[in-house]
């Protein structure tokens, strides 16, 4: 008997090691990884600089309780805040914990500063994915909750893209709107910048907080540090995780001072969150992502990938209906079953990830080279050809 709780359907592949953009199977076969542990290993595998920084910190101190000063955490918080709208960072270990923190902070803000007991409803959208804890699940609609015989009050679930519905649904009970600037699991569905801006306006007019969930689309994946930075607006709270530690578990909830000041000692916490080892790796990731020309390279190579993918889609319209997304969070909207595509791509030694809406997600390392981009296109083209015949 396999003693792992059966929560994942697993392929038969067993990887023994990775290097750069490649994973190596126990058979010795080499796979180009366009899944990166679902947008986690954004700087590839066995990165020498990250390995060195991890080793250095591992020989000094792994874990320290948050009741002590943690300079590595302070540094990471100040660097993340300097890179975006935020003034405070709360560190945790996963995306779902970052989302839980965001819900708590939003509700507490109105409870404490506005003395409002009714302003606690969180609005979210169909197709969204915010994690698997009860609170994060509640933001994904009642259907998912029902399967656990659970209901959590004060969540409202709306159709993605229906601005008029959002407008009419916001009322005096609404505390926050939570949205992914680009839905990952939902099928790489981008919220156009004019929509993000319209949602911000609506929130401002109604004294509602705006939470961006950038757990998947953030940390450089779109060609800017955060996906919302392609627009002209800012959230009040933002959740990030996945790529911060390039595989070392770390998540964060970032807030403005206005909102974060509603939290006080004991209002939230984490045993492991923000420990020296995780934060040292996070700082090393930022060293690389903030190096000169890093993002111009991301944009150049991802634009080439998009152009080349569109050519493949044009040549194989029966297989690929169109390409979605931005930077290195791309989706192939399929005209065949997306799972069949993922399986066939694997036979061509490229790893991809399926998403809802019959989409195949491409989430390569964001430091992908031009030649790896060409290799991926060859493999995707072969996959389409094989699926056609």
Of the candidates 86, 170, 176, 215, which one interacts with ligand PLP according to CB under 6 A? 215
To the nearest whole angstrom, how small is the minimum distance from the Cβ of residue 155 to ligand PLP?
15
Q: Cβ closer to ligand PLP: 215 or 368?
A: 215
Q: Cβ closer to ligand PLP: 207 or 357?
A: 357
Mark residue 357 as left, alpha or beta (left: phi above 0; alpha: psi -120 to 50; beta: remaining): left
Site for ligand PLP in 19-58 (CB under 6 A): 38
Secondary structure of residue 368 in the 3-state scheme:
coil
211: β partners = 178, 237
Secondary structure of residue 190 in the 3-state scheme:
strand
What sign has the CA pseudo-torsion 69, 74, 77, 78? positive
Q: Cβ closer to ligand PLP: 44 or 186?
A: 186
Q: Cβ closer to ligand PLP: 253 or 259?
A: 253
To the nearest whole angstrom, how small is the minimum distance from the Cβ of residue 213 to ligand PLP?
5
Q: Which residues have CB under 8 Å from 84's CB, separation 6+?
A: 225, 226, 229, 234, 238, 254
Q: Cβ closer to ligand PLP: 188 or 309?
A: 188
Total interface residues for ligand PLP by CB under 6 A? 15
Structure tokens at 138: 């509640």
Structure tokens at 265: 């000692």
Site for ligand PLP in 250-269 (CB under 6 A): none
Q: Cβ closer to ligand PLP: 215 or 373?
A: 215
CA atoms within 13 A on the CB side of 259: 28
Binding to ligand PLP by residue 213, rule CB under 6 A? yes
To the nearest whole angstrom, how small is the minimum distance from the Cβ of residue 98 to ligand PLP?
7
* Contact region with ligand PLP (CB under 6 A), list: 157-165, 213-221, 293-301, 371-379: 213-221
Of the candidates 47, 53, 107, 130, which one interacts with ligand PLP according to CB under 6 A? 130
Binding to ligand PLP by residue 95, rule CB under 6 A? yes
To the nearest whole angstrom, how small is the minimum distance from the Cβ of residue 42 to ligand PLP?
13
Q: Which residues have CB under 8 Å from 69's CB, separation 6+?
A: none
* Contact region with ligand PLP (CB under 6 A), list: 76-84, 95-103, 150-158, 194-202: 95-103
Of the candidates 42, 96, 231, 255, which one interacts with ligand PLP according to CB under 6 A? 96
C-alpha dihedral, 57 to 61 to 66 to 72, nearest 10°? -30
Here's the x/- map for ligand PLP, 183-202, by CB under 6 A: it reads as: -xx-----------------
Q: Cβ closer to ligand PLP: 98 or 208?
A: 98
Q: Which residues have CB under 8 Å from 352's CB, separation 6+?
A: 34, 35, 341, 342, 345, 360, 361, 362
154: β partners = none
3-state helix, strand, coil in the chain (%, to 5): 40, 20, 40
Footprint on this chain of ligand PLP (rule: CB under 6 A): 38, 94-96, 99, 129-131, 180, 184-185, 213, 215-216, 241
């Amino acid at each position: 008997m396999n003693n792992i709780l059966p929560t994942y359907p697993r392929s038969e592949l067993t990887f023994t090691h990775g290097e750069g953009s490649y994973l190596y199977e126990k058979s010795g076969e080499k796979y180009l990884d366009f899944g990166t542990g679902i947008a986690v290993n954004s700087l590839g595998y066995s990165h020498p600089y990250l390995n060195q920084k991890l080793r250095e910190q591992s020989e000094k101190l792994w874990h320290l309780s948050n009741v002590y000063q943690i300079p590595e955490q302070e540094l990471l918080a100040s660097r993340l805040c300097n890179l975006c709208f935020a003034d405070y960072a709360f560190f945790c270990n996963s995306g779902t914990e970052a989302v839980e923190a965001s819900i708590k902070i939003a509700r507490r803000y109105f409870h404490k500063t506005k003395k409002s007991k009714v302003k606690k409803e969180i609005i979210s959208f169909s197709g969204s994915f915010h994690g698997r804890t009860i609170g994060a699940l509640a933001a994904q609609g009642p259907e998912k909750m029902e399967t656990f015989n659970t209901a959590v009050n004060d969540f409202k679930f709306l159709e993605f893209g229906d601005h008029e519905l959002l407008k009419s649904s916001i009322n005096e009970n609404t505390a926050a709107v939570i949205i992914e600037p680009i839905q990952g699991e939902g099928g790489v569905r981008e919220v156009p910048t004019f929509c993000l801006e319209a949602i911000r306006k609506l929130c401002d007019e109604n004294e509602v907080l705006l939470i961006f969930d950038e757990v998947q689309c953030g940390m450089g994946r779109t060609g800017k540090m955060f996906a919302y930075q392609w627009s002209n607006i800012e959230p009040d709270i933002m959740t990030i995780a996945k790529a911060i530690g390039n595989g070392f578990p770390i998540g964060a909830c970032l807030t403005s001072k206005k909102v974060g000041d509603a939290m006080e000692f004991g209002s939230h916490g984490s045993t492991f969150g923000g420990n020296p080892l995780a934060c040292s790796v996070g700082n090393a990731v930022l060293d690389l992502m903030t190096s000169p020309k890093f993002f111009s390279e991301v944009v150049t190579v991802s634009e080439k990938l998009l152009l080349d993918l569109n050519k493949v889609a044009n040549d194989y319209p029966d297989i690929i209906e169109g390409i979605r997304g931005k930077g290195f969070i791309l989706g192939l909207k399929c005209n065949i079953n997306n799972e069949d595509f993922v399986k066939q791509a694997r036979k061509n030694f490229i790893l991809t990830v399926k998403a809802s809406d019959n989409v195949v997600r491409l989430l390569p390392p964001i430091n992908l080279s031009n030649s790896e981009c060409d290799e991926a296109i060859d493999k995707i083209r072969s996959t389409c050809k094989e699926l056609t015949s």
